[in-house]
Homo-oligomer: A and B are copies of this chain.
């Protein structure tokens, strides 16, 4: 029997690109499994059921609590959004028929009507943060494909804003004419301490109308012999994160900021915010996800028992 065999529930973060599963005993992780079969790789509800069965083989038949795009319209089962302001702890909805002979519970996302915005998965990470720090008052930044800036007060999600920073970085770096100047560079965070990164953040924040013009300059600088790949990457990353901070300035200015995200990307946002006089705290994204799913699961059992 695998070490997951003592689990009494299973935590799942099922996003667009990946599935992350933890066999849990209470709040302790007994085993972790990761697959690249996210929502985008699924053809229909049966695929979700099959993938879950495959990935939990050898684990006990215990309830699964899942968050992320698994609850989207193109996911396993659409779970309605709650509207802000609302508590972070997500409400769970059971997939009918107990697939694989066990309850499968999916967390609902959060929406905002004005300006229009949505999240699926981040609300669970926020719930995890708040379960450890119930009095947190400030902004939680969740950088990624779609970076979220979420204002938290009195234990609730008040309002939030999404910026497509990670997705646009990927499109520009891998598919636009800038790819010829980047040689397939990833947003590695290797350049967060460079002058080029800091300079680009500052320019994008103070002159956002010019930042748009600077994108092609990154390519042209290479053609006229003024830049290398590492500097170009730092400038693209700095420009996009500077635009991101500028778009979200009303959220973070004068606030306590907590960054929950992958370590390299979190370090880039930290470096950019430090230049603006903000001293963010960085938290672990997987720990936040598990704690949020645990909080949701506890609340669900409290209601249904």
Task: Identify the A interface with B (CB < 8 A).
Answer: 73, 81, 111-113, 115-118, 146, 161-164, 167-168, 171-172, 175-177, 205, 208-217, 220-221, 223-224, 226, 243-244, 246-249
Q: How far is the CA of A232 from the CA of B97 in the complex (A)?
A: 38
Q: How far is the CB of A70 from chain B (nearest CB, A)?
A: 16
Contacts of A146 in B (CB 8 A): 177, 216
Contacts of A221 in B (CB 8 A): 116
CB < 8 Å neighbour of A176 from B111, B163, B167, B216 = B167
Residues B171 and A116 in contact, CB atoms below 8 Å apart:
no
Residue of B nearest to A243 (CB): B212
Contacts of A247 in B (CB 8 A): 209-210, 212-213
Residues A118 and B212 in contact, CB atoms below 8 Å apart:
no
Residues B164 and A176 in contact, CB atoms below 8 Å apart:
yes
Contacts of A163 in B (CB 8 A): 212-213, 215-216
Residues B248 and A162 in contact, CB atoms below 8 Å apart:
no
Q: How far is the CA of A216 from the CA of B115 in the complex (A)?
A: 10
Q: How far is the CA of A243 from the CA of B220 in the complex (A)?
A: 20
Contacts of A208 in B (CB 8 A): 208-209, 211-212
Contacts of A223 in B (CB 8 A): 73, 111, 116, 118
Number of copies: 2
Known: A208-B208, A212-B246. A217 touches B176 (CB 8 A): no
Q: How far is the CB of A268 from chain B (nearest CB, A)?
A: 16
Of listed A118, A164, A213, residue having the most chain B CB within 10 A: A213
Residue of B nearest to A147 (CB): B216
Q: How far is the CA of A6 from the CA of B74 in the complex (A)?
A: 60
Question: What are 7 contact pairs spanning A and B, CB under 8 A?
Answer: A113-B226, A162-B213, A162-B217, A163-B212, A164-B176, A171-B171, A210-B247
Contacts of A164 in B (CB 8 A): 176-177, 215-216
Residues A117 and B220 in contact, CB atoms below 8 Å apart:
yes
Contacts of A248 in B (CB 8 A): 213
Q: How far is the CA of A216 from the CA of B244 in the complex (A)?
A: 12
CB < 8 Å neighbour of A217 from B115, B172, B209, B215 = B115
Q: How far is the CA of A118 from the CA of B218 in the complex (A)?
A: 11
Residue of B nearest to A218 (CB): B116
Contacts of A209 in B (CB 8 A): 205, 208, 243, 246-247, 249
